Amino acid sequence: MSTLEIKDLHVSVKTEDGPKEILKGVTLTIADGETHAIMGPNGSGKSTLAYSIAGHPKYTVTGGTVTLDGDDVLAMSVDERARAGLFLAMQYPVEVPGVSVSNFLRTAKTAIDGEAPKLRHWVKDVNKALQDLNLDPTFGQRSVNEGFSGGEKKRHEIAQLELLNPKIAVLDETDSGLDIDALKIVSEGVNRFRAQEGKGVLLITHYTRILRYITPDQVHVFVDGKIADQGGPELADQLEAEGYDKYLTKTTV
Ligand code: ADP
Ligand code: MG
Ligand code: MG
């Protein structure tokens, strides 16, 4: 089972001028096995939501709750959240010079499982994950994200997703900067993940393009730190045709 429940979440970010409220009451439930898409204009707070779920220290929760299968996520450290089954693929993955992809993946897997994976299976799993994402086997020897192309960064995030196999995956603009072939490869990876029993996905995106390959159960329109509208996959088609204008006008009136 894996249900992520976000209720009336308020989050502020620390800025030089003091705290600034970014999330203004977000309520959203990803029930067992569901994929939800969050779509919204730049600066609406989508990444803030992702970071708040993952526990980034820059963001302060000032109200509301987040639970995973009933457990209080906000009371957990970043590590505890990962061990509980939450995974975040960041919009801008960070470079870790001097740490190879293989070592990084093995360290992350060991931290999450509480024991090192058996070497023989692990090597096989890593090679398969890289191959499935059309990454060269030598990719494992490269420093994490250093000199990676945009597409390699995103495919590496999906390799992590497949190997760490969390309960809930939060994917922040995993589609940005991908050409059509890479977009298909990344989408297939996400679809393999969600084909497993009880896996939840929160797919954050600015564009509807990825939703042609990953059909969400629900679409939420995110504007100015709040959900402005929600519906089925057809809402994405409507956004594709009409853009975010009508929501923006509504909030500025
Ligand atoms: P999105 O992902 O939808 O583009 P973000 O969550 O990145 O939106 O940002 C939402 C708003 O919060 C923006 O106005 C942004 O400038 C502000 N913001 C986010 N993170 C920070 C930060 N660390 N410091 C200052 N402002 C921030
Ligand atoms: Mg943005
Ligand atoms: Mg963002």
> pLDDT (tens digit, 9 = 90+) per residue, 113-159?
999 999 989 999 999 999 999 999 899 999 999 999 999 999 999 99
Distance of CA 47 from the midpoint of ligand 1 (Å): 7
Largest CA distance in the chain: 61
Total residues belonging to the chain: 253
Residues with CB under 5 A from ligand 2 (ion): 42
The answer to whether the CB of 23 falls within 8 A of the CB of 48 is yes
State the Cα–Cα distance between residues 19 and 55, nearest whole angstrom.
17
Tokens representing 74 are: 């906000």
Tokens at residue 245, please? 């204008």
CB 163 within 8 A of CB 127: no
Number of other residues whose CB lies within 10 A of the CB of residue 60: 14
pLDDT at residue 137 in the model: 87
Taking alpha carbons only, the member of 107, 103, 55, 99 closest to residue 79 is: 55
Pick the atom of ligand 1 nearest to 91's CA: 2
Report which bound ligand comes closest to the CA of 172: 3
Average pLDDT, the chain: 94
**Ligand 1 mutation target, pool 15, 22, 170, most atoms within 8 A of CB:** 22
The residue range of the domain holding 108 is 4-252
Query: Which of 44, 48, 207 best tests ligand 1's pocket when mutated (most atoms within 8 Å of CB)?
Result: 48
For ligand 1, the distance from its centroid to the CA atom of residue 224, given in whole angstroms, is 10
Which residues of the chain fall short of a pLDDT of 50? 253
Q: What is the pLDDT of residue 213?
A: 96
Question: Strand runs (DSSP E) across the chain, as ranges?
Answer: 4-15, 18-30, 35-39, 59-68, 71-72, 86-89, 96-100, 143-144, 168-172, 200-205, 218-223, 226-231
Q: For the whole prediction, is pTM greater than 0.80?
A: yes
For the chain, how far is it from start to end, CA to CA, in angstroms?
42
What is the dihedral sign for C-alpha 183, 188, 191, 196? negative
- What's the CA angle centered on 179, arms 232 and 227, to 5 degrees? 30
Domain of 90, CATH number, reads 3.40.50.300
Q: Which ligand is nearest to the CA of 91?
A: 3
Q: What is the total count of domains within the chain?
A: 1
Question: What is the 57 CA–ligand 3 centroid distance (Å)?
Answer: 17
* Residue 50 CB–ligand 1 contact under 6 Å: no
Atom of ligand 1 nearest to the CA of 204: 2
Q: Using the atom order of ligand 1, give the atom closest to the CA of residue 50.
A: 6
| 83-97 tens-digit pLDDT | 999 999 998 998 999
